[in-house]
Structure 1
Amino acid sequence: MFVNPYLNFDGKAEEAMTFYKSLLGGEFEGGVSYFGDAPGMELPEDEKTRVMHISLKVSDQVTIMASDIAPSMGHTLTKGNHNYISLAPDSKEEGERIFRGLSEGGSIEMNYEKTFWGAYFGSFVDKYGIGWMINYTLKPDEE
């Protein structure tokens, strides 16, 4: 299992991650996904260019991920929600087990379910106020 920091920004994710890359090195994995690229999302024009996801692989052990908030979706950036712990479990079932256990007594933001980007994903704030994301990327023969 990998544990990765996940940072949230208010329109500055790409700028910040480019800055981090200039100092830490590494490569962006999978390019930059913007909110405007997601199917079926109706957003104001100024939010379509906000980053939905960016991933900077600094080393085999460290990947820093980030996104921007989308104010039209009710997101606000407040101290405490700007950083998540993102887990990449080894199986869909392990992800589900971790999601159920850590989210118990907390506040689920997105249920652990199949996504359009080919993963099972869920996010929540645990009972201690810590933000978590669980993302299991499906293998080619999995559903």
Structure 2
Amino acid sequence: MVNTDIYLHFNGQCEQAFEFYRSIFGGEFITRQRYGDMAGGDKMNAADQDRIIHVSLSITPATTLMGSDLPSGDDHNFTLGSNFHICLQAETEKEADKLFQLLSKDGKVEMPMSKTFWGAYFGMAADQFGVHWMISYNSVKPNQA
């Protein structure tokens, strides 16, 4: 594995939370994107267009804190204590598939492994103990872009 990141989910407070975390840990945002910035985002209601679809903040050389808001229609899925994923950054697509298969066994697949609009090979699952995982492989490394 390349590294492990922490991914937090919010119900409309992601931007405020990450400004708070940045005030504590310092640094600059690696990315900050809104739902309105994605393809088809202009068709969402105005409030959802302004919500954060993805933000990342490096908090140590080996740890990135990432987050997003749920679209307002998904608010029913938001409960405290289940608003996080552990994100594993795999070194290869094959490793990503293996991690996903092992972690999702006897658990629940939330999103099967697939190519995404942001360019990663990505999937999400809850393991048999209810811990939520994101598995990601990105063939383009940040210094190669």
Q: Please report the TM-score for the alignment, with normalisation by the length of structure 1.
A: 0.89
RMSD: 1.6
Counterpart in 2 of 1:32?
Answer: 32
Alpha-carbon offset, residue 69 of structure 1: 0.9
What is the CA–CA distance in structure 2 between the aligned matches of 1:74 and 1:19, rounded to whole Å? 22
- Going from structure 1 to structure 2, the CA distance change for 1:13 and 1:117 (only over 3 Å counts) comes to same
Q: Please give the per-residue CA displacement for 1:93-123, whole angstroms capped at 9, x wherever unaligned.
A: 1111101110111111111100010100111
User: Could you report, residue by residue, the CA deviation over 1:13-51 in whole angstroms, capped at 9, with x for unpaired residues?
Assistant: 11111110111112211x311111221354222111111
Contact 1:7 1:66 in 2 (8 A): yes
Give the letter aligned to residue 37 of structure 2. Answer: D
CA–CA distance in structure 2, aligned partners of residues 13 and 7 of structure 1: 8
2:68 alignment partner, SS class: strand
The number of aligned residues is 139
- Give the unaligned 5+ runs of structure 2: none
Structure 1 runs (4+) greater than 3 angstroms displaced: none
Q: Secondary structure at the match of 2:122?
A: strand
Paired position in structure 1 for 2:127: 126
Higher deviation after alignment, 33-42 or 17-26 = 33-42
Distance in 2 of aligned mates of 1:84 and 1:102: 13
User: What is the alpha-carbon distance in structure 2 between the residues aligned to residue 82 and residue 37 of structure 1?
Assistant: 23
Contact 1:4 1:86 survives alignment (8 Å) = yes
Match of 2:51 in 1: 50
Partner of 2:10: 9
Report the alpha carbon displacement of residue 71 of structure 1 after superposing the two structures with TM: 2.6
Task: Between 64-73 and 115-124, report the one with greater CA deviation.
Answer: 64-73
Amino acid at match of 1:110: M
Between the two proteins, what is the percent identity of the paired residues?
A: 37
TM-score, with normalisation over the residues of structure 2?
Answer: 0.88
Deviations 1:37-93 (A, max 9, x none): 221354222111111110001221121011111132565211232111011011111
Q: Is the partner of 1:58 in helix, strand or coil?
A: strand
Tell me which protein shows more helix as a share of its residues. 2
Q: Does the 8 Å CA contact 1:69/1:75 hold for their aligned counterparts?
A: no
Partner of 2:61: 60
